Structure 1
Amino acid sequence: MMHGGYAEGQQLSDSNRIVFNALVDTLIPPEDGWPPAREISLAELASRYLVPDDSEISFYPHFRTTEFFSVLDEEAPELRGENDSQRVVGLTRFEAINPKLFSRVRDFVYYLYYGHPDVVELIRQHTKYGPGFHGRPQPIGYEAVLENWGTRPLTNRGAFIPTDSIFRAPQAAQKDRANS
């Protein structure tokens, strides 16, 4: 699933929660059995991944708390409406005005949504490659080897040189004498 997070995240206000849930539901429409943001309490999860203002951001696409609240308050006011087409227009405008910030917000939403345990479980149950899905941000690798390679070498380049056959480089000896 997801990694990290802060135990004591700053909770979103009711107004920010409404905008955030609308943002998620506009980017990832709740259809065909995929849950809406409020149903899986995604706003509470988001608050755990907001970096405190006095801390350094170490992972993309995380946000500092005040930076994220500012995005919700100033960049996405059209998302407060109930009209889906109005929200799409608002997001399209936001993307056109500030594409880098929009990409970061979108990636943060994807990170949260597709890393949520309920959504990971839905992916595992209802998609073709779901059983091998381990959640974001990275898979843990293959559960079994793909092919039995046997005893043959994987490459025909290189050679084995026994350790006793290796001599120290002359530069190493010169350095040893200089340090004495």
Structure 2
Amino acid sequence: MRRFLNATYKAAGMLSAFLILTICLLISAQIVLNGVGRLMPGLLPSTIPSYADFAGFMLAGATFLAMAYTLRSGGHIRVNLVVQRLSPRAVILTEFLALAVASVFVGYALYFCGALVLESLHYGDVSNGIIPVPLWLPQSAMTFGMGLLLVALLHTLVELVTTGSPVLSTPDEV
């Protein structure tokens, strides 16, 4: 199960990286079109329709899809100034509390993300750009990423309990 979850986190991280690369390519293409439009008007279209909307949707997807991978790979910013002064048993208790509280908050957010997707589907909400995009599509990526973060938090919590040693803190972090 651990291999499957780690592969899922990595796949979501890779998809997030792909979305960021796509944002870069989209914005670069828009910049080139703007330049060509000024140098040789009428040669190419001057804009990519709804490019800012698409870039925003991809940024939201990239952000939420990367969170579980970042948590499991130790990429989140952690300040261990207090934790490094605690006893090993207190560190485990602190991590347990942090993971449990984070799981509750993320579960709460996941519930409302799912409700938002269902509401957008129910009302047929679309973006108000040149190209109307059904809003449930980017909201689904956000909801999936939030769900994956909840799974990663619970996975880390179970790992903490079963190993009995700190999972999140390493001595080189400050």
TM-score by length of 1: 0.24
| Higher RCO (CA-CA < 8 Å; seq separation 6+) | 2
Where is the helix percentage greater, Structure 1 or Structure 2?
2
TM-score by length of 2: 0.24
